[in-house]
Every structure is written in C-alpha cells, then in structure tokens.
C-alpha cells in the first residue's frame, strides 16, 4: 500500500476546483493548502484518520530532473468510493468542474463486483472512482 501519491499539475487553481468537487463525494477533503499562486505551491487531499493522501503540486519538485514536465505522461489515480451513489456523484462533479468523460458510471469487469467511473482531469490524467460491493 502507498503512503502518498503526488502529481504535478499545470494550474493549481484549476486542479483545486476539479479535485475538490469530484473527491468530495468520496469523502476525501482538502487537508492542507500551501498555495502561493496558481503555478507555485501544493494542496494535500485525504480523509480524517487515514494515512494515505494525495498531493497536487505546481512548480518543479526538487526531485525532478531537467527533462521532467507536468502532464507529459498521464497518471492513473483510482479512489475507493463508499458506495454506488458516491461514484455517480464523483462523475457528475468532475464533469461539471472541467473533467472529460473517460467511462460513465457502471458495472465493470472484475474478479469481484465493481462499479466505477472514469474521468480525464484538466491535465490529462485518468481519474477513477470505484466501489466494490454487493450493490455493484
């Protein structure tokens, strides 16, 4: 299991609107705001009582090499949803806040019952919310 994931975005304010909207139905909230401008700083999203978190950053991380740039290779981020309704709300909020459809909410082929939706965020990353449960 991971401790945290960080992605670099091209515009922190655009990312804040998109992720703030589509992660809210998944009970993932903005925990820390270290924004200095739309192209400098970072945001930390997570849930109370859990260690894992997501960092959205703008600017050049210290560990980047000169050949690294935001959104040159898209990332795939998959979030656990608390239920089918949360997957649906994630999708609607993401579309309403600058995301692009990459798979409408619905059952997916999996070894366990799985209901998921997929969005492309404003930087081209694939963002997924899924629920594994008997209602899927």
pLDDT at 135: 60
Q: Write out the H or E segment, with its range, that includes residue 91.
A: helix 84-96
* pTM: predicted TM-score of the whole model, two decimal places: 0.84
Position 117 scores a pLDDT of: 97
Q: By three-state DSSP, how is residue 17 classified? A: helix
Residues of the chain with pLDDT under 50: none
Tokens of 94: 């993401």
**CA 97, CA 42: separation in Å to the nearest integer?**
19
What pLDDT is attached to residue 119?
96
Q: Taking a C-beta distance cutoff of 8 angstroms, is the pair 128, 76 a contact?
A: yes
Supply the DSSP symbol for 40.
B
What is the per-residue pLDDT for 103?
Answer: 96
Tell me if the domain spanning 4-60+75-132 has CATH number 3.30.360.10.
no
Q: Where are the domains of the chain?
A: 4-60+75-132
Determine the pLDDT at residue 71: 66
């Amino acid at each position: 299991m991971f401790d945290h994931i960080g992605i670099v975005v091209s515009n922190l304010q655009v990312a804040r609107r998109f992720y703030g909207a589509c992660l809210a139905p998944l009970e993932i909230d903005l925990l820390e705001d270290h924004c200095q401008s739309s192209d400098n700083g970072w945001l930390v999203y997570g849930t109370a009582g859990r260690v894992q978190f997501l960092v959205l950053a703008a600017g050049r991380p210290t560990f980047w090499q000169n050949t690294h740039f935001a959104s040159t290779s898209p990332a795939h981020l998959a979030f656990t949803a608390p239920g089918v309704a949360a997957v649906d709300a994630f999708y609607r909020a993401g579309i309403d806040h600058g995301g692009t459809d990459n798979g409408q909410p619905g059952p997916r082929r999996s070894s366990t019952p799985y209901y998921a939706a997929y969005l492309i965020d404003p930087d081209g990353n694939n963002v997924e919310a899924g629920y594994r449960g008997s209602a899927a």
